[in-house]
Amino acid sequence: MLDDVVISKAIIESYTKEILESLESDVIICGGGPSGLCAAYYLAQEGFKVVVFERTLRPGGGMPGGGMMFNKIVVQEESKPVLDELGVTTTHYKENYYLASSLETLGVLLSQAIKKGAHVFNCISAEDVLVYDNKVQGVVINWTAAAVANFHVDPLTARSSCVVDATGHAAEIAHVVSRKSGAKLMTPTGEVVGEKPMWAEKGEKVLLTNTKEIFPNLYVCGMAANAVFGGPRMGPIFGGMLLSGQKVARLLSERLRQK
Ligand code: 48H
């Protein structure tokens, strides 16, 4: 026999427990696209407490759409080890080009990040940041549905040692810090420079250099990193997104271990 209210209690109790435990963490990642999920996977694997807030119902960002909804992704040789480690099937296309299903890659990445211990919350947007003493100390969160409905609902907060902007092209967290704190970002202009036109070779090359700290305790990865530093977009090649997530996890791991 099944009791409907027991089912409801099980869901509400376990969700409430997980989100309460997630209000203080080592790293908050804003955005559950490929770069954010990859960063979450590596950080969780290292034993850090990592929380991902993803705006939409379905994590994955631009990955499931592949290229123009042809649901395949291309990755280059240097990023293939990440897919091998995760257990994603790849096929060789030509020298330096591998193909994978965008859906399988997303499914595996999300599953592996959660299995390693990352706390992934969908339907929650990071709408602002906590900045005390000129350092980012956490994020301000709200139900995406409240914003979609245009309801005036005050938000809640979550604290972390570091925050990652993995919000993709929009680089939302970098923008909000730049706009509201009045301080300069660690970019050539001191602000968000803005993404440049498509150029896969260059976009992938500069992405790893651009993956770094841009304001005390705030890091950028993925497409947001190129948007912040004025790097080109690169179309549906996803190797750089994975490597950028891996790099930001390594930077944070080194940083957090020094504490
Ligand atoms: C919570 C948020 C918020 C917010 C946004 O766009 P993404 O897939 O980002 P990346 O950088 O991991 O991957 C980029 C890739 O998908 C891509 O777009 C490429 C390679 N483009 C090249 C080209 O030429 O177009 O994911 C970002 C995620 C999304 O799921 C958003 O819903 C989410 O972040 N998000 N989540 N709070 N404020 N803003």
The pLDDT tens digits of the residues spanning 188-221 come to 999 999 999 999 999 999 999 999 999 999 999 9
Q: Where are the alpha helices (DSSP H) in 102-187?
A: 102-116, 144-148, 172-181
**Ligand 1: nearest atom to the Cα of 33:** 26
95 pLDDT tier (thresholds 50, 70, 90):
very high
Any idea where the domains of the chain sit in the sequence?
A: 23-257
| pLDDT 10s digits, 98-126 | 999 999 999 999 999 999 999 999 999 99
Distance 33 CA to ligand 1 centre (A): 5
* CB distance 62 to ligand 1 below 6 Å: yes
Mean pLDDT, to the nearest integer, of 80-103? 98
Distance 223 CA to ligand 1 centre (A): 7
Residue 2, token pair as written in the block: 């099944």
Which superfamily, per CATH, for 23-257?
A: FAD/NAD(P)-binding domain (3.50.50.60)
> What is the pLDDT at residue 183?
87
Q: Could you give the angle at the alpha carbon of 129 between the alpha carbons of 124 and 130, nearest 5°?
A: 125
- The rounded distance, in Å, linking the Cα atoms of 104 and 89 is 8
* CB distance 228 to ligand 1 below 6 Å: no
pLDDT of 181 over the 90 cut: no
- The rounded distance, in Å, linking the Cα atoms of 139 and 51 is 11
Distance 258 CA to ligand 1 centre (A): 30
* CB distance 239 to ligand 1 below 6 Å: no
- The rounded distance, in Å, linking the Cα atoms of 218 and 138 is 9
65 pLDDT tier (thresholds 50, 70, 90):
very high
Cα torsion for 230, 168, 34, 135, to the nearest 10°?
A: 90
* CB distance 67 to ligand 1 below 6 Å: no
Share of the chain above pLDDT 90, in %: 98
- Complete edge-to-edge strand list for the sheet that includes strand 72-75: 72-75, 97-101, 91-94
* CB distance 64 to ligand 1 below 6 Å: no
pLDDT of 259 over the 90 cut: no
169 Cβ contact partners less than 8 Å away, ≥ 6 residues apart: 195, 223, 224, 227, 233
